[in-house]
Structure 1
Amino acid sequence: MTPIRHNGPDGPDRSGRADRPARPDGDPVLDAVRDCVLAVGVRRTTLTDVARRAGVSRMTLYRRRPDVRSLVGDLMTREWIAVAVGAMPERAPGTKARTLIVEGLVAGVRAFRAHPLFRKIVDVDPELLLPYVLDRRGASQEALLSLLADHLREGHDEGSVRAGHTERQARSLLLVVQSFTLSLRTMTEEDDPELGSEAFLAELRTLLERTLTP
């Protein structure tokens, strides 16, 4: 899923500890926002908290973004895009585009559901995700659609993906994986292997394969 105009992965452990080194490609302010959200959630995070963790003044933050939610938006964009890109498998010689799409989307659902920031937001501040599920697409969704469209075009050209309208196919795939990402736990019974998360991810793989196979 990728919802969102806010995003990216890693993040601290679930305790929200901030004594962890920043990501190599990290933005100290977004790293600080991530640590605050993991520690106390979005609603309890303040610009003062973020400024203190980032080692900058509140005025520096005000010049960048007017409020915490805007900063969280930037964070989600960074995190979600990183998850989606990182989920795409390494391409071995001879691998077809359809395989990359299917395996990347299944891996992406698994990665999102395990991501500490995503889990925290779903559990504590789920309303942040609703606009990107009900009303509009965000930056991370647009990035994923672009990535999917590139692979779909390649699949069309090589004949591994069913011919069709590329953008419509990409959006349909995103609708499917968003549903699995956001709602899977409402359907699983982890004490029953036939209804556990991995069983449903296998079902997702089958759905995607059958949808894309010519």
Structure 2
Amino acid sequence: MSSLRHIHPDLGSDPRLDAYLDAARDCILDVGWRRTTLTEVAKRAGVSRMTIYRAWPDMGSLLGDLMTREWVGIAAATRAAATDTTSPAGIAAAALATVRALRDNELFVRIVELDPDLMLPYLLARRGRSQEALIEILAAEIASGQAAGAIRAGDPVLMARSMVLAGHGFVFSALTMVDAAVGLDELDAELARLVTASLAP
């Protein structure tokens, strides 16, 4: 998928990098981000520390690639499973599936539980590569739907950015809106309705 070019330029062409990211993922799941080091990643991957350093100069850059691979991979999988991603209802269903998969992802849950501040820059200060890739995927789907006359006119990138912005709340904060009066399934269904209505001609 073209959107994966946002990740490490060699990722996907060099299976060793995927193995190193797998090792980093295991470390974070076990001990959290703060206690994970490049040395520990190298140990888990069965390679020298310098091998990891040649691919990533620090844990921040490694985490960026890991999160991008994880989140974009989820979006790609949910869209590959979708039967239609060019109609408002189809895009809404795929978007909801992505939100649910992200919210339930064990790496996401672990980071939010132990190191939630790692997510703050992407919510308050700047877009990350994962967000850019998701926007690219959505914008392409919206443009295809517009060409077919199924989606209202408008800038596909602007519309995609708005959807990602709305999705943030349902990924990060949905549980704050759940109680005896409103269940998570009901809240998710409302997201699908919001997206469908926002894209309808």
Structure 1: stretches of 5+ with no match in the other structure: 7-23
Q: Which residue of 2 aligns with 1:11?
A: none
Equivalent of residue 111 in structure 1, options 101, 104, 125? 101
Over 6 Å off, 4+ runs: none
Letter in 1 for 2:55: R
Bigger mean CA deviation after superposition, 32-41 or 67-76: 67-76
Q: CA deviation at 1:26?
A: 7.2
Size of the aligned set, in residue pairs, is 190
* 2:18 alignment partner, one of 12, 20, 27: 27
Residue of structure 1 in register with 2:183 after alignment: 196
Aligned partner of 2:10 in structure 1 is none
Aligned-partner SS, 2:47: coil
Instruction: Provide closer, same or farther for how the CA distance between residues 57 and 197 of structure 1 changes in structure 2, counting only shifts above 3 A.
Output: same
Once the two structures are TM-superposed, the CA of residue 56 in structure 1 deviates from its matched residue by 0.6
Q: 1:206 aligns with which of 175, 182, 193?
A: 193
Q: CA deviation at 1:89?
A: 5.2
More helix by share: 2
1:89, 1:103 within 8 Å by CA — same for their partners in 2?
no
Please give the alpha-carbon distance, in whole angstroms, between the structure 1 residues aligned to 2:172 and 2:85: 29
| Alpha-carbon shift at residue 185 of structure 1 (Å) | 1.3
Question: 1:47 aligns to what?
Answer: 38
Q: Which amino acid aligns with 1:60?
A: T
Q: Structure 2: how far apart are the matches of 1:91 and 1:111?
A: 14
Identity of aligned residues (%): 48
Instruction: Provide the alpha-carbon RMSD of the alignment.
Output: 2.2
Given that 1:42 and 1:69 are in contact with CA atoms closer than 8 Å, whether structure 2 keeps it comes out as no
CA–CA separation in structure 2 for the residues paired with 1:53 and 1:108: 30
In the superposition, the TM-score normalised over structure 1's length comes to 0.82
Bigger mean CA deviation after superposition, 109-118 or 40-49? 40-49
